[in-house]
Amino acid sequence: MMTRLDALKRHSLVVADTGDLEAIQRYHPQDATTNPSLILKAFELPGYQALIDQELAAVKAETDDRREEHAVDRLAVAMGSEIAKLVPGRVSTEVAAKLSFDTQASIRKAHALVELYERRGVAKDRVLIKLASTWEGIRAAEVLEKEGINCNLTLLFSDAQAQACFDAGVFLVSPFVGRVTDWYKKETGQDFSPENDPGVQFVRGVCERVSQGGYDTVVMGASFRTTGQVLALAGCPRLTISPTLLEELATTSGEVNPRVLMTRSGGPRPVALTESAFRWGHNQDAMANDKLAEGIRRFAEDQERLEEQIADRLAAL
């Protein structure tokens, strides 16, 4: 009988939520997505040590200014370039979380990342620039999309965030499942079945909004805690899944039926959100407010830890 992973691939494009090259080779995902937390983990993987030393040596030789920040960009792109050799699709690379409220700085950082990729022979159509789904991040994505640089809007927790991304013509959004459910479990003390899971229901709602409005934006469910959540979103266009859950799906058999049907009705679209309407709509969702702020803080903290490790290794060179 077919594994659940292979069965899932009949309904959704599977994306590896990791920078681990061995895991990517093992599960054959379409795309791969990274973030500062995953790069921090990859920083300790044996397979990356020679690449890390090479990149840090180049950074040390090139500049004395903002070495650690520049090194993070170089490493993210170097790792992403290695991943691009293993996946047929795209690699997502994140703009620093500390830029989440600065549109112009986010655009400049995106340009710098794309340039680094192109120097390595990876064309911009193989890359997705990841930005937090703040008003400023969405505005940066709107500009980048018009320039032909596709974006992945992450840390998405509210309907207002999703609608603003659709209005901006963003290529892909990553509504989070597990972190939504975490919040509701903490607030209510309840456990949820996959069918009644608040995170699953949220992502299904985002998919429904895309279908009803006939938007071109791709929905990619993210931040899964269990395979039950994953399977409850079979049919969502893309699902980014951690190696632990990929392994569980690859080592169990069974049928996987589509639970999300993407039928483009192309009905009337709502009026594009103004900034004030966006901020009000997002503000009215306590979960979304909490998790967006927390997510930005966590990614920023991981980047700081990564920069500290880089500083130590640079000093030792």
What sign does the dihedral 53-58-60-66 (CA atoms) show?
A: negative
C-beta pairs of 70-74 under 8 Å, 24+ apart in sequence: 71/307, 71/310, 71/314, 72/36, 72/39, 72/96, 72/303, 72/306, 72/307, 72/310, 73/109, 73/112, 73/113, 73/116, 74/116
Return the DSSP state at 155. E
Backbone angles phi, psi at 284, to 5 degrees: -75, -10
Instruction: Name the residue with tokens 């400023």.
Output: 136
Q: Write the DSSP symbol of residue 124.
A: G
Q: Choosing from 130, 185, 186, 291, which is the catalytic residue?
A: 130
Q: Is 240 helix (H, G, I), strand (E, B) or coil?
A: strand
Quote the tokens at residue 278.
């966006």
Q: Which residues contact 182 (CB under 8 A, 6 or more apart)?
A: 225
Active site residue 130: yes
The bridge status of strand 127-132 relative to strand 151-156 is parallel
Nearest to 16 by CA among 122, 87, 113, 74: 87
For the annotated catalytic residues, the residue numbers are: 130
